[in-house]
Amino acid sequence: MYGEVLILMNAIFNYVILSFANSICFLQQSKGRLLISAFLAGICIVIFGHHFLMLVVVFILMITVAFGWQIRKWWKGALMCFVAALFAGGLFTAFEPLWINTSVFTLLLVSGIVATAGLYLLKSRLLVARGDTLQQRLMQLCELQLGEMTITLKCFIDTGNTTVEPLSGKPVHFVCYKAIEHSLPENFKMALFQWNVNEPYDLEMFPEYFRKKVAVIPITTVQEKKTYSLAFRYDKWLLKEEEARPISPGFFIITIQNTPFPQEADAILHFTALYHI
C-alpha cells in the first residue's frame, strides 16, 4: 500500500477522534487546527513506524497541536481521544474481515464511515447521560429554616436565576406558596395577602419578627413593567445530600401564583447554589 494512502487513512482516523473529543468536551478548536494535527500525526506514524514509544510521542504531539498546552484542555482532550480511539479501533477491527479484499478507495470510504457513525452514536449516548446527570444534580432536596419553621423542599437550581437583593447583593430564591403554606403561621399568611404592592414599604401587617427579615425588591416584569416583591431573609438553607451543606446567606420570594416551577420543584434556587453541590 502506498505511503500517501497510509497517511490519508491515519489522518482520517485521527481527525474523526479529534473532532469527537473537540465536540464532546466543548473545546472549541477550529476544524483547520484539527486537520493540521491529524495529518501531522499521520505523517509521523508512517515515517517513524508503529513502535509503542513512537505511538505515545505522536499521540502527545497530536493532542498538543490540536488542543494546546493548557493543562485542563489537554487532559480532557487526551482522555476523550483515547476513549474514542479504543472505540473506533474496535469497530474497525470487528468489521475488517468484511472488506479485506476490497479496493483501497472502498477501504478508506468504509473505514471513515464506520468510525464516524460509531463515534456519533457514542457521542449521542454520552450527551444524553451527561444531561441526565446534570438534571439530577440540579434537583436537590433542601431544608429551609426561618425562625421556628423548618420546611423540607424539592429545589431546582436555575442557572438563569440571577436575581439579587439590591442593597446587599445577596442571592434571591423563589418558593412556591403552596409548598410552604401548611408550615406558615396564620398571622404570616394573612399579612402576605394584606400587603399592597402599590404601597410596598408599608409592612405593618407583618409580625415584628418577620418584619425585621423582609426586604422590598423592585422587579421588572416580562412586559417591562416595574413592580415590587417581598423577599425574606432566611436563617439557614441546607442542601440535604449525604451530609447537610448550607448555601450562601440570602433571601427568598414566596410566589402566590400557581405557575408551576421546572421539574415540579417546590423552589427555584439562585445559580450560586451550584457552587455548593
pLDDT at 223: 59
pLDDT digits 0-9 by tens, 34-49: 999 989 988 888 888 7
Could you give the percent of the chain with pLDDT greater than 70? 82
Contact (Cβ atoms closer than 8 angstroms) between residue 170 and residue 176: no
pLDDT at 265 over 80: yes
Parallel, antiparallel or unpaired: strands 214-220 and 149-157: unpaired
Cα separation of 112 and 219, whole Å?
A: 55
Contact (Cβ atoms closer than 8 angstroms) between residue 234 and residue 144: yes
Please report, to the nearest 10 degrees, the dihedral formed by the alpha carbons of residues 19, 23, 26, 27 taken in order.
Answer: 0
pLDDT digits 0-9 by tens, 48-96: 877 788 888 888 999 999 998 888 888 888 888 888 887 776 666 666 6
* Most confident of the ranges 87-101, 144-158, 219-233: 144-158
pLDDT digits 0-9 by tens, 200-220: 899 999 988 888 899 998 877
- Strands (E) across 136-203 are located at 139-146, 149-157, 172-176
Strand partners, 153: 142
Instruction: Identify which of 131, 163, 130, 111 has the alpha carbon closest to the alpha carbon of residue 268.
Output: 163
